[in-house]
């Protein structure tokens, strides 16, 4: 999509495939409570060997998932991960999630750039028509990023995840391809 190329040219990040060496970085994030605090998944202990297997599986046996590394253009530093899980090619949808593991990049708009890159990839390279995402109900930062990128509120899954010793609600947001196209045009108009 040509209009997205204009938007993307100002982005500070890019996406790439995982490499085996990424396990060192992702392991450090996975054992950092501050990084995992707002993730939907449960806290569990991960050895460096387990993390190597997880990265190897992402590379060599992805199943119905796409897992990508997020890198900072200026330094090529691996700063986060982006995922499409539950990719359903028949119904043309997938679940999106992201992680900015390098805390020095928090609060700088990287999540918005990452989300837009993944939406463009999902809609224009994977031929998806709908992308959805879950956030912890109290993760306002993630909800704001999704909203800013054109996701709409679709509902709440009540007491759906055990987190911090209790069952908590999950926010459900989704975006359609035509809504993404409208968001790209609106973002370009804001920049003009």
pLDDT the model gives residue 128: 98
For domain 2-191, the question of CATH label 2.40.50.100 is answered with no
pLDDT the model gives residue 4: 92
Q: Using the predicted structure, report yes or no on whether residue 38 has a pLDDT greater than 80.
A: yes
Q: Using the predicted structure, report yes or no on whether residue 80 has a pLDDT greater than 70.
A: yes
| DSSP sequence for the chain | -HHHHHHHTT-SEEEEE--TTHHHHHHHHHT-HHHHTT-SSPP----HHHHHHHHHHHHH--TT-EEEEEEETTT--EEEEEEEEEEETTTTEEEEEEEE--GGGTTTTHHHHHHHHHHHHHHHTS--SEEEEEEETT-HHHHHHHHHTT-EEEEEEEEEEEETTEEEEEEEEEEEHHHHHHHHHHHHHHH-
* pTM for this model (two decimals): 0.94
Residue 94: name the closest of 70, 71, 63 by CA. Answer: 63
Q: Using the predicted structure, report yes or no on whether residue 6 has a pLDDT greater than 90.
A: no
The domain segmentation of the chain, as residue ranges, is: 2-191
Helix axis angle, 140-148 to 110-124, nearest 10°: 50
């Amino acid at each position: 999509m040509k209009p997205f190329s204009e938007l993307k040219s100002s982005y500070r990040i890019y996406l790439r495939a995982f490499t085996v060496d990424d396990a060192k970085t992702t392991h450090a994030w996975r054992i950092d409570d501050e990084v995992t605090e707002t993730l939907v998944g449960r806290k569990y202990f991960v050895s460096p060997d387990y993390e190597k297997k997880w990265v190897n599986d992402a590379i060599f046996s992805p199943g119905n998932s796409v897992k990508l590394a997020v890198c900072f253009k200026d330094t090529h530093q691996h700063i986060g991960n982006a995922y499409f899980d539950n990719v359903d090619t028949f119904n043309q949808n997938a679940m999106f999630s992201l992680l900015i593991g390098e805390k020095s990049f928090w609060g700088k708009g990287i999540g918005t750039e990452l989300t837009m890159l993944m939406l463009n990839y999902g809609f224009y390279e994977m031929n998806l028509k709908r992308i959805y995402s879950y956030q912890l109900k109290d993760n306002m930062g993630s909800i704001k990023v999704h909203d800013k990128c054109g996701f709409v509120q679709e509902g709440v899954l009540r007491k759906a995840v055990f987190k911090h010793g209790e069952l908590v609600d999950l926010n459900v947001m989704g975006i359609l391809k035509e809504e993404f196209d409208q968001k790209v045009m609106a973002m370009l108009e804001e920049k003009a």
